Amino acid sequence: MQRRLFKPLVLSASLMLITACGDAPEPRVAATVDVDNIARQYTQLVLALGEHDSNYVDAYYGPGQLRDEAVARGMSAADIAAEAKALLEKIDTQPLADSDMRKLRLHYLDKQLQALAFHAEHLSNGKKANFEAQAQALYDTTPPNYTLTDFDEVLAGIAELVPGEGNLTERVVAYRKNFVIPADKLDVVFQRAIEECKQRTQAHISLPEDEDFSLEYVQDKPWSGYNWYKGKAYSLIQINSERPIDISRAVDLGCHEGYPGHHTYNALLEHKLVDELGWQEFSVYPLYSPQSLIAEGSANYGIEMAFPGEQKMQFERDVLYPLAGLDPAKAAEYAAFLQLMNRLSYAGNEIARQYINGDIDGERAVALLQQYSLNSEAEARQRLRFFDTYGAYVINYNWGKQLVRDYVEQTDDQAERWARFTRLLSSPRVPSSIEW
Ligand SMILES: [Zn+2]
């Protein structure tokens, strides 16, 4: 799959700037070269920090030589933090942006470097930052706070939908077993769901030519699905099949990991920013960074983009339930139940916050996840593992989705919503520049 040469496109981008500059070509070209240098150094610092934290570099598909050079320097995490701070000072001295995209680019580099310096510093001193500090420094946002009793009313609503004897968590866990995809139907259901997510996305977003993905089933992971973006518009999507998978997860993961979620976001960034503009910094994706809020938020909101209103339930009822051998007559009731379950999602953030801040221990967190998120004990332990591995990252899913929704739903027109959503996926936006 040979396509899109990198270097000639960099040259053509520079050439365009020279010819478009009019009466003051030289300073603008010099400024572009400066930002390109900052971007390259930022990319190398991300790759260098990846040597100290194996989860940190989520994707890199730029030149191998850049990585080799970065790694060969053998920088400590403290060195990396210091260099990131020096680069931040350079950004401050850059001339004011002369275009919206350049303004977004400088702001993106500034916020991503702040997050990088913060993470490098904490890796270096071995201290864990509290939940609020992580949200602000790593994800460029302040998530809302709740108390767990705020969710009592939702729990009461769920109790009415799932009547019976015994405690609510046990009832819910038993009820959900009716909606598990049988192991031998898993692949056919997932393939069909992703195909539908793709068709619905392609109707509104022009995807790069040759884009493609592979699907794999894995076990023993702290997440339920993962997109490993490999560059050249190709993703490896992994689904964690360690525990039973609910029928509603097929469309959720198909949209989230694939279309119009992570695969689409990464492919558009590669095509629009790396290939067309030669912006090196987008060939690397550091997990603990403001970009993750946009990535997770758009991936989760993307489910509603592709399946607005009742359409997800209708597709599941008419196509996926029969494929999985489940009773389609129960689809509407189950969708209503899941809507209420979604309203509990911020209870999970609150439990993560208390646990990360040391207010409660792991066993208490597992008990609270069972009580307020209605997780089985096994699910609660998997989520605890997620909190241990990824810290305040949990906010990116629901709070990120809310911020993306607020951005997209400023119009009622569905075509305009897709245009806003696509703009978000194709530009260097972070939470504090989402409206620019
Ligand atoms: Zn994700």
Q: Which residues constitute the domain of residue 367? A: 1-436
Which comes out higher in pLDDT, residue 248 or 22? 248
In total, how many domains does the chain have?
A: 1
Distance CA 262, CA 337 (A): 27
| Ligand 1 centroid from CA 143, angstroms | 18
User: Which burial class, exposed, middle or buried, applies to 261 when counting CB atoms under 10 A from its CB (0-12, 13-18, 19+)?
Assistant: buried
| Ligand 1 centroid from CA 282, angstroms | 17
| Ligand 1 centroid from CA 299, angstroms | 6
Calculate the alpha carbon distances from 361 to 72, 194, 364, 384 in Å: 40, 38, 5, 10
344, amino acid identity = L
**The pLDDT value given to residue 98:** 77
| Ligand 1 centroid from CA 226, angstroms | 6
| Mean pLDDT in residue range 71-75 | 97
| Mean pLDDT in residue range 318-337 | 97
| Ligand 1 centroid from CA 396, angstroms | 9
CB atoms < 10 A from the CB of 337, how many?
20
How far, rounded to the nearest angstrom, does the alpha carbon of residue 354 sit from its chain's CA centroid? 23
| Ligand 1 centroid from CA 256, angstroms | 6
| Ligand 1 centroid from CA 167, angstroms | 32
pLDDT in tens, 209-251: 999 999 999 998 878 899 999 999 999 999 999 889 999 999 9
**Which residue is it, tokens 């999602």?**
345
CATH number, position 214 = 1.10.1370
| Ligand 1 centroid from CA 30, angstroms | 37
pTM (2 decimals)? 0.90
| Ligand 1 centroid from CA 223, angstroms | 9
pLDDT in tens, 101-137: 999 999 999 999 999 999 999 999 999 999 999 999 9
**The pLDDT value given to residue 99:** 84
Which comes out higher in pLDDT, residue 193 or 96? 193
Residue 254 CB contacts under 8 Å (≥ 6 apart), including other chains: 190, 193, 194, 196, 197
Distance CA 181, CA 183 (A): 6
| Mean pLDDT in residue range 49-78 | 97
pLDDT band at residue 25 under the 50/70/90 scheme: very low
| Ligand 1 centroid from CA 50, angstroms | 19
91, amino acid identity = I
Least Cα distance to 93 among 34, 40, 28 occurs for 34
